[in-house]
Structure 1
Amino acid sequence: MKGPPRRVLHVLKYYRPAFTGEGVFLERSSAVMQELDGTVEHELLVTHTPRPAGPEAAGFCSTLRRVAYLNAAPVSTVLHYARLAWWFLRNLRRYDTVHFRTHADWYFVTYLLTRLAGRRLVLSATLDDSLPVLIGHYRPGLRRLATAGFRLFHAYVGISPRLHEQTRAVAAAPERCHLVPCGVTVPQAAPGMRERLRRSIDAGPDDPVLLFVGGLCARKDPLFLIEAMPAVLARHPGARLVLVGPPLEPDYVRRLDEAVAAAGIGAAVVLAGERLDPHPWFDAADLLVFASRLEGFGTVVPEAMAHGLPVVARRLAGVNESFVLQGETGFLFEDREGYLDAVLRLAGDAAMRRRLGAAGKALCARQFGMRQVAARYLGIYGLGDAGVDPDIDQAAGPEAAESGLGCTASITDSRFHAPADAIGGGPGDGPVLVTMVDAEEAFDWSRPFSRDARDVTSMRSQHLAHRVFSRHGVVPVYLADHPVASQDAGRAPLRELLQDGLCDLGAQLHPWVTPPFTEAVGEANSFAGNLPATVELEKARCLTGALEDAFGIAPRIYRTGRFGVGPRTADVLKQLGYVADSSVSPCWPTAAQRHDPSAWANPPGPYWVDRERTLMEIPVSAALVGRLASHGGRVAPFLFRPGADRLRLAGAAARLGLMERIRLSPEGMTVEEAKRLTRAMLAQGHRVFVLTYHSPSLEPGNTPYVRTAAQRDRFLAWLDEYYAFFREEVGGRNTTWREVRFGAAQAAKPAMAAAS
């Protein structure tokens, strides 16, 4: 089992929305550190960027569990440093390590507090902030004191050879100095993306596309690239220069626009703006051009190399000479003549571009793999792998292939959420009902989990429910797990239903019966979200592939078995191409979530879990109902805690109309309870309802809810009565998850066609 979390506090001066390269690296490296050791949590304090007005302006990273902004607006220097010290006094006890990614405390107060508290203290040099440079910012009379202050740190990180050697020259203990370059991650390219992007800028297959990625500011010098573009166009009229990055300096951006207009090259220069994910542009380009005059490392250059692009970059001594190898992985230039010579050679020679690109890609894999870099940081933090879960096979070390998981979405973290436009929500519209069936193996719910529990013969009885479905126009989605997909007894009956257009297909992950089997079987690991992100990803990938092989269609809606959603589940689903999830069951929290008030809140309905609005959560309908329901966050953890049944408190509270916990399901709920739930949720403004049950309940003896044939008859009668109630009393109608996710146009598509 995992031990208690160890926390690292990262401190940055500047973060979203005024993003910096070090902020980008922090997000990406924290994601991989979390994959290497899930017991290490990462939080961020932003000292200088004012707190954004709303989360949509800030953006978030799913592996930064907390982002705190010191100030809501600019304040005086005295007040700023007073607030910084007070913040540390109140919060320092939470952390094991504090990593100042920039020198953020001019007076060393927080550094001293960190040491006095016995926490590990780390300082990074990322641009022009090596120790000699930082010390040189102080008045001569204070430099000896500043030198002593910087020696409070346990470790110093330089991201380039120049910064590393400069710091070593003045550090009291050179062995505390670590050269750790920025790691590089390369997500998998979406099929056809290169062609789509090139068409969007009118670039033909053979037209050279030059790419710049970075903030539009004088230091990065994209003006140099624009002013050289006419000479490139003279030899290659179809060439394009794409500038991807935020406009950091408005006056400078106006100069860029003026230069483009003066040269008459508007069709050849594309200002693509800031991109949350710039990687598709790397895939669309033929070479990277980078004229920045000052970088601590210049991560974008090795990123381009990792994509297989040759690079043409301004020479920065002690920064990029070790990986931009002249004529091997790219070219370094010092003036306009050198730049044009390199660009024109590469633009006219596709074979050279391929050769240099392949060499650069291999070099990046050796030197800048993010897993290697993340492992180095865990060691510097003094955490290493001490917290690795012994219940998980950890054979895959830092040298293993990278998962490519992003960190831009969360099903459980409200910072990422935005309400979805729910159907049935307009004036005069009635509510809608989606039916979801957990298509799974039968197992004894009272016994420990077992990999041998794989009986899926109950799938042969699903036609009994379809007699009810046909009377009410219900087209359910079967959320099938691995035993169903991998055995003919499970897939054959479901395949018939799919072929007849009577249902749709989704995925449901039961970790204990889904390969790869690297974790110990037990209660905690039965929740997919408790597994390391890489294990959860591989199991979800295996399940998705098994369903595609069995049914010839790709599932696009997902559920974690036992509603075991975790902090990286959304990132997993985005990588695998899912567009909807139904892993949230309000008011039924896991043991770890029980005392979180938000776990007892009823979400307002379907919601987006990422800024791009590509993944929608469609929660199961469940709520606290009764006169005390509004106090559920305080009362429910006590009322529904394990063992409370012996005191019969929940039953008494329900009989008195004070509070009852109801899920929209024929399993364990009476139809009258389901009706009360529906009326209560309608009164709160809900318009999308989700009914769910388990497929083994259709054969007596498989679940606690259906032990006899008579109980099965009552189960089916429950469905019949509830569907009639939903239509006749509340004016609702049945629909599919596709209509909720995509709108009415998708709802009419046959399941086999729509899912592909």
Structure 2
Amino acid sequence: MNKKTDLIFLLSVDTEEEWDWEGPFPEGEFSVENLHKLPEFQSFCTQKGIRPCYFVDYAAAQGIAPDSAFVEQVKNNECELGAHLHPWANPPYFDKPNEANSHVINLPIEEVSEKLDALMALFAERFAYQPKAFRTGRWGISPEIMALLWSRGFEVDSSVYPFYQNEFFSCQGSPTRPYWPSENDVLKSGEQHNILELPVTVGFNRRPFTRANKIHQRLDSQNLQAFKANALLWHSKLLRKIYLSPEVSETSDMIALCEAAIKENGPLLHMYFHSSNLISNGTGFFKAQKPFETICQRIEKVLNHLSHKHNIVFMTLCEAKVYFQTNKQFIAP
């Protein structure tokens, strides 16, 4: 019988207000009904041994009851809180929210600084807690924001979204393994060891990922979009871009990604999703009839598959940072 190998499994949850992602950004009154599902979800995690990181934004921090069972589980070290900055929901407010300024990476660093300080003050007031992990709203990170995070005592960032780009920023070319970002180019490894980048797991059902991504990008170019080549490759299962997220991917696709990612990057996986998708119509994006049950079932099935070959080691993101400082073979060069 083959000996099982250790597999580090991380789970992060963007914990935030719900709204229709295809509509305007919410202002003023923020609905946070999804937070009522967090204690139940954390109970599921505790039962499975998962030790998640909840990236909590300003609206959610205001909505979480300080004496809730969920907060008690944070105090018992069954999970951790990270900071999540949504510009439209985080004072002070400067401009009416739009697509461009909804991305933290597009804001003047002075505005990011003021918003981050307000968020950390709320953490101290509501939870008596100093977050050490951070994720920007809508992904993306810059050297200026990374330097700001270090100045505020953060030790882990998880804002890099591998193989993703839009009109405002790109994460193309970033390592897909944990790495120490360069102070001048946060998508490359550098010499500083203050903040560790822990990207979420994104990849393909084919390896190597860099070659698969080049094919996917080429076929997604404007000249070839009309042929819908990537859609054909998806349906034929010849090439699929897959996200390790139970709100985005079916169980079978996540398992295929896990198998490929472990071979590509070593025994480490980082799953993620949004708390707003724990309820129906929380985003308008996740269409499952029973969203809470579907997310939990998909996570459980992925873990059950992985447990046949691996001894799964659950860590929070900050625990992973400490672990990787000693076990440097996990860090991208």
**Aligning the two structures, in what range does the TM-score lie when normalised by the shorter sequence?**
0.7 to 0.9
State how far apart, in whole Å, the 1-side matches of 2:82 and 2:36 are.
Answer: 18
- What is the SS of the residue equivalent to 1:562? coil
Determine if the alignment matches structure 1 residue 608 to structure 2 residue 180: yes
- What is the SS of the residue equivalent to 1:443? coil
The worse-fitting range, judged by mean Cα deviation, of 519-528 and 622-631 is 622-631
Shift in CA distance, 649/740, structure 1 to aligned 2, threshold 3 Å: same
- What is the SS of the residue equivalent to 2:14? strand
* C-alpha contact 1:509 1:561 (8 A) present in aligned 2: yes
State how far apart, in whole Å, the 2-side matches of 1:643 and 1:520 are.
Answer: 35
1:683 to 259, 263, 277: 263
State how far apart, in whole Å, the 2-side matches of 1:605 and 1:744 are.
Answer: 11
2:112 to 503, 522, 536: 536
Partner of 1:457: 33
Q: Offset at 1:564?
A: 3.0
Residue pairs, 1:23-62, within 5 angstroms: none
Partner of 1:283: none
State how far apart, in whole Å, the 2-side matches of 1:738 and 1:689 are.
Answer: 15
- What is the SS of the residue equivalent to 1:689? strand
State how far apart, in whole Å, the 2-side matches of 1:744 and 1:603 are.
Answer: 15
State how far apart, in whole Å, the 2-side matches of 1:554 and 1:455 are.
Answer: 25
2:130 to 533, 554, 574: 554
* C-alpha contact 1:726 1:733 (8 A) present in aligned 2: no
- What is the SS of the residue equivalent to 1:438? strand
Determine if the alignment matches structure 1 residue 714 to structure 2 residue 294: yes
1:697 to 277, 299, 324: 277
* C-alpha contact 1:696 1:702 (8 A) present in aligned 2: yes
* C-alpha contact 1:441 1:453 (8 A) present in aligned 2: no
Larger Rg: 1
Q: Offset at 1:638?
A: 4.4
Partner of 2:17: 441
Residue pairs, 1:249-648, within 5 angstroms: 429-452=5-28, 454-488=30-64, 492=68, 494-593=70-169, 599-601=171-173, 603-609=175-181, 610=183, 611-626=191-206, 629-632=209-212, 634-640=214-220, 648=228
State how far apart, in whole Å, the 1-side matches of 2:286 and 2:31 are.
Answer: 17
* C-alpha contact 2:4 2:309 (8 A) present in aligned 1: no
Shift in CA distance, 641/556, structure 1 to aligned 2, threshold 3 Å: farther
* Counterpart AA for 2:296: L
State how far apart, in whole Å, the 2-side matches of 1:470 and 1:700 are.
Answer: 23
Per-residue deviation, residues 495-537 of structure 1 (Å, max 9, x unmatched)? 2332344321110010111111113311111110111111111
1:659 to 210, 227, 239: 239
Shift in CA distance, 553/478, structure 1 to aligned 2, threshold 3 Å: same
Shift in CA distance, 705/523, structure 1 to aligned 2, threshold 3 Å: closer
- Count, aligned residues: 316
Per-residue deviation, residues 268-304 of structure 1 (Å, max 9, x unmatched)? xxxxxxxxxxxxxxxxxxxxxxxxxxxxxxxxxxxxx
* C-alpha contact 2:123 2:129 (8 A) present in aligned 1: yes
* C-alpha contact 1:468 1:719 (8 A) present in aligned 2: no
Shift in CA distance, 451/642, structure 1 to aligned 2, threshold 3 Å: farther
Unaligned runs of 5+ in 2: 184-190, 327-333
* C-alpha contact 1:434 1:690 (8 A) present in aligned 2: yes
Q: TM-score, normalised by structure 1?
A: 0.39
Per-residue deviation, residues 234-277 of structure 1 (Å, max 9, x unmatched)? xxxxxxxxxxxxxxxxxxxxxxxxxxxxxxxxxxxxxxxxxxxx
State how far apart, in whole Å, the 2-side matches of 1:556 and 1:507 are.
Answer: 8
- What is the SS of the residue equivalent to 1:526? coil
Q: Offset at 1:713?
A: 2.1
State how far apart, in whole Å, the 2-side matches of 1:682 and 1:457 are.
Answer: 36
Q: Which has the higher contact order (CA 8 A, sep 6+)?
A: 2
Shift in CA distance, 670/633, structure 1 to aligned 2, threshold 3 Å: closer
Q: CA RMSD in A?
A: 2.9
Shift in CA distance, 693/716, structure 1 to aligned 2, threshold 3 Å: same
Unaligned runs of 5+ in 1: 1-426, 747-756
Shift in CA distance, 707/500, structure 1 to aligned 2, threshold 3 Å: farther
* C-alpha contact 1:431 1:731 (8 A) present in aligned 2: yes
Q: TM-score, normalised by structure 2?
A: 0.84
State how far apart, in whole Å, the 1-side matches of 2:112 and 2:69 are.
Answer: 28
Shift in CA distance, 593/488, structure 1 to aligned 2, threshold 3 Å: closer
